[in-house]
Structure 1
């Protein structure tokens, strides 16, 4: 057990680090929640781009993708819940079907001066989320009489010391302890005196600068082209065949990348290695894919990826797929497509390739090809790049190693370019 945290005033020379701006445009940060001993028991994800009062459904998109990224990569042995703010619109929309409920605590917003009827109207949605396995956190307003119907749903009640006076705290804590099963979390704790007083009231969980400052969240995503996302949504609505859905997923690098991230976050890749988009479609099912595509459509307007980069990635994927079909089987050809599309991840995400591949789980052969140009897939990637750069030396060397003739390579390259042209029309 680690010792309790010390309460040294935050240094003026070391302000909280600015959160990264993900590809969705929102700034996401993470702050630890600790117990009495100072051990981290949970984290809160929140947007730093606007004030909490301005939290809205569009911001939920960024937070949900951030939650997916964190729940996918964290070591299950060291699992810590994530507190995520969520608007009532998002809770009712079905977006949360993508999120693993056992990993997330939903912070439910109050309704202001809402009438009791509005509280009752939202009760079925909150109950359904609890039944799915989500835990719910509320602000101190849930202790008001208007919210009596929500009280027994509370797993956590957060007391904001920035808005509550010391005299109010004892009353609120006492009422919560008598009338709810909830754990109480004190947030914006900023002094040793506050910490001692809160402990004397029986509070066991704390959040504030003395324990941990907000840290930027690496929630990378690629916003896909709206046209392809709409096409995917239409196919899913029509319950199209997996082959047709796979074709659309192959058309856009943003769709490809974010689908692999979703597979990782859902934990499906741990049970079975995903080597093709068709497998991903079958494992996820049409309903989850539809929810995911709807989220991406909301995010797509924020994208700033040059279209030429995404098009080059897709052409690479198709060319590698065609060349692999000349040499290998269908499964290896599917992996070749993934190598080609993901070969520009470092440019798309503005980070080195090793860091980019930490965001998606890919087969070892794909990773070896992307990082070290190893194996047959690595040789094919070198060959494809030589075709783009018109490097005769690399073209001849790679073609010799892969046992492909110039005629085969040129024909496949023309097919890949024509395929891209057809997709763009």
Structure 2
């Protein structure tokens, strides 16, 4: 069970999630941590521990192990069908590590080598490898092209690491990389000024209603009834077991009576975002969901205004520029959101600027930034981890509800 952890998506050539790399705060360089002391175990248990399926949303998990752990303390309880064992150092330079890898391979685990400069053409380790990770920020394209044949011949998949732009993704895919790690997918592909299409105006109206202090049930019903898909998805969201374990909800009015105004506003906003992003990788929506829940939990803890649910809306809409391939100021001019949400999305709110730095720290395992924001927000670090873990579990659950809306991703969700 894991409490203090970050995850980074690894995508395939279609920008669907293949796996998550897990980075542990308690392990050196993000590696799998040493066995916990009694005190550490109590802390882990108290602050909302996660299992692998919780953290990785039933995807594969890449876990980095130190040589010492692999040789003497490898946790064979991990499921080899779910876990890829990642080496953080060249096996040829550590006595006994190749033999340990042979044993781990016999147990059914796949092995990946993090080889930033693509230097691992050694015959003794290559037969054991299933995957090699290459830092494309450190190696020239022509060097990659020269090295590729030996990996193709050995049936080794290649992951491009630190892919931070769409141009880098395209170049790496053309070079022959199989998988891609980096946050390129969460950036706009082309920042151009354009109006939202008329087909999305229902969604714009819903976004406005979600951020309004008033709640006009009849108005929202009118908007949703124009689109059968909206009605269907709203009921799926509201009947998600994470949200509603007891009652079968059959209408928006029924949902309002059961859930209350603020929760309905959150789901209306979520519904809008899902439809706005229906042409983009599902992982952008997933990141938005986790941010929404995390900001909502932070705002509750900080006793911020909850109606409208500003924290939830700021987190949910924080990647609108990537979803719509426009700059944020241009998008916000077209959306009828309240000033608090707009100011936060434009970086004009000190409160939400702290939230944004914090969530990016969790997404990228920048643990020193977590420490700094813990002090700035006066929230215990362990409690922050617990809130973020709650957000991950909630985001995973809602993702499973909406994944069928993304036909291209059906096979991997």
TM-score of the alignment, normalized to the shorter chain, above 0.5: no
Larger Rg: 1
Superposition TM-score, scaled by structure 1 size = 0.38
Superposition TM-score, scaled by structure 2 size = 0.39
Higher helix share: 1
